Homo-oligomer: A and B are copies of this chain.
Amino acid sequence: EIVREADVYFTPSPLKGKKILVTAGPTKEALDPIRFLSNHSSGKMGYAIAEAARRAGAIVTLVTGASLESPSGIKTVHVRSARDMYDEVLKHYEEADAVIKAAAVADYRPETISSSKIKKTDGQLTVTMVRNPDILLELGKMKKNQLLVGFAAETDHLEENALKKLEKKHLDLLVANHASDGFGNDTNKITLYFSSGKKQAFERMPKKRVAEKICDALAGLFEMSGNE
């Protein structure tokens, strides 16, 4: 703990005093009390960002669907479904200076949640899935002075999808990676797309370093926006 505090103390603090909300991990969408739909997000990227933001002086709240250990010194709220995450994020949105949405929120959830375990039968099972709230899109609509940072993990047409998302969701910064580069790994290979049109590509590096690059980029945006 002494080392950690020293770490905070001697690092420059480009995010000093900023209230930053970070979301991390997958969500789990229940089909019944036992089964759920989820995704391969480990939460490591979001946790690394939460820790990097804290090292950079920010006051961090982490809303997470991952089952990783809560990081020291960071207010951590565990959630399960996309709707839980949505509710929790909204609680903190108004007072936030920035939101970094690293969570891999499920786009769909089963239309109905069975209250008891669905017994298997011999035939097929058809599951109707409905759209979850698009948290980032909603935050983009409600945006006042907050800076919004989104992620795009794609298997195809990465740049095209990234630029579309940046615009559609009113993001200030989008972190794009190929799905196979990030999910479950300890490293990531990212490209940053800014609303200004600027683009910045990085080599593969540990998620801790990736997190620092994202915080640096965010600090730059705070500087430009005058919201210092």
Contact = CB atoms under 8 A, between A and B. Distances in A.
Tell me the number of copies of this protein. 2
Nearest to A31: B37
A126 interface: yes
B124 A126 contact: no
A124 B129 contact: yes
Interface string A207-227: 000000000000000000000
A130 to B, nearest CB: 5
29 contacts: A31-B37, A32-B155, A33-B155, A33-B180, A34-B104, A34-B153, A34-B155, A34-B183, A35-B38, A35-B39, A35-B106, A36-B37, A36-B39, A36-B40, A37-B37, A37-B38, A108-B120, A116-B155, A116-B156, A117-B154, A117-B155, A117-B179, A124-B131, A125-B130, A126-B126, A126-B127, A126-B128, A126-B129, A127-B127
Interface of A: 31-40, 104, 106-108, 111, 116-117, 120, 122-131, 153-156, 179-180, 183
